[in-house]
Structures are given as structure tokens and as C-alpha cells.
Copies of this chain bind each other. A is one copy, B any other.
Amino acid sequence: MSETPPSLLGLTTYLLSKTGKAARSRLAARLAERDLRLWHMAVLSALVDFGPHVQRELAARLGIDRSDMVKIVDDLAVAGLVDRARDTIDRRRVTVTPTRAGRAMLADLQAEALAVQQELLAPLTSPEQAQLAALLRRVHAHVHEGPEEPRSGR
């Protein structure tokens, strides 16, 4: 009765879009419990993986506008998850560093992400989950390097 049209289920594009949306919204819901959004997690990940960044580098790495990065970093700073420090040699720059609380929070968020993942991929066996991850990783790498369309007109 409430079946999805088979025409759509035959399109991988559609499946990716739908399951992706489910993944995003479920993870976002978990983050929201801690008053965080996906970008907050992305920023924390970048800081922990690659070490302290100047704000501008952070924005460039994650591909978002630097004025938006300001707000994200601000949220994280207020929550005590990162430290913002003026660079002593170039006082225009602000170096962002993860705090201990920030690292702990990231570990927490990663656990949540894994929980969502288990919930989402429940019907797949472990090797299948790994295979899905491997395939997606390759697709992601391909998509990420050749974004094709910077932004469709507004």
C-alpha cells in the first residue's frame, strides 16, 4: 500500500539519495541532543586528525564559507570544545585547537555515529557492511575530487 515505486528503487541515484538522507538525519538527531550539528563534528574531526588549524584553513578544508566557519567555531568555543588563540606573530589569524573536552566529545560523537550505522545497516552482515563502506569510499573519493558543478545558479 505504501510501497515505493519500483522505477525509483531501480535507480541507484535514488537509493543513495534516500539512504543518505536517512543517515544524515539520524546522525543529526543524535548530535542535536548535544546541541551540535554535522559541521561541528566535521570541524572537531579535522582538528583532531590534522591538528590545530587557522580558521581559514579549516574553512578551505571542509569546503564551507569562512563566515559560516566563524559561527561554527564560536559555538564550539562557547561549549569549551575548542580553544581560539590569536596567532602571536600574525595577530589577524586565529588558531583553533581542540580541548580535552573536545577530543572526548568527538569520541562520543563517533560512538553515536557507529550506533546509527549499526541501526541503519542492520540487515547486512559484517562483511557486507565492510564491502559497502569500501565501495562508498571509492565513490566518495571520485565525487570529491571532481565536484563538476560548483553551485547551480541561484
Residues of A within 8 A of B (CB): 1-9, 11-29, 32, 38, 41-42, 45-46, 48-50, 60-61, 63, 106, 110, 113-114, 116-117, 119-124, 128-129, 131-133, 135-144, 148-149, 152
The listed residue (B14, B38, B61, B152) touching A32 by CB distance below 8 A is B152
Docked-complex contact B124 and A138, CB < 8 angstroms: yes
Report whether A113 and B20 are in contact in the complex, using a CB–CB cutoff of 8 Å: no
CA distance A2 to B139 in the complex (A): 17
Are the C-beta atoms of B117 and A13 separated by less than 8 Å?
yes
| Prevailing SS type, chain A contact patch | helix
Q: How far is the CB of A147 from chain B (nearest CB, A)?
A: 8
Q: Identify 9 residue pairs between A and B in the complex whose beta-carbon atoms are under 8 Å apart, listed by A's number.
A: A3-B61, A4-B61, A7-B45, A14-B27, A16-B20, A16-B22, A25-B149, A121-B139, A132-B132
Cross-chain contact B135 with A131 (CB below 8 angstroms): yes
Give, as a whole number of angstroms, the nearest-CB distance from A63 to chain B: 7
Chain B residues with CB below 8 A from A12, complex form: 23, 117, 120-121, 129, 132-133, 136
User: Whole-angstrom distance from the CB of A132 to the nearest CB of chain B?
Assistant: 5
Question: Complex formed: what's the CA distance from A15 to B142 in Å?
Answer: 12
| Inter-subunit contact A23/B13 (CB<8 Å) | yes
Q: A19-B20, A20-B20, A122-B142 are in contact. Are A8 and B42 (CB under 8 A)?
A: yes
Residues of B within 8 A of A135 (CB): 124, 128, 131-132, 135
Question: Bound state CA distance, A96 and B131, in angstroms?
Answer: 42
**CB pair B19 A136 closer than 8 Å:** yes
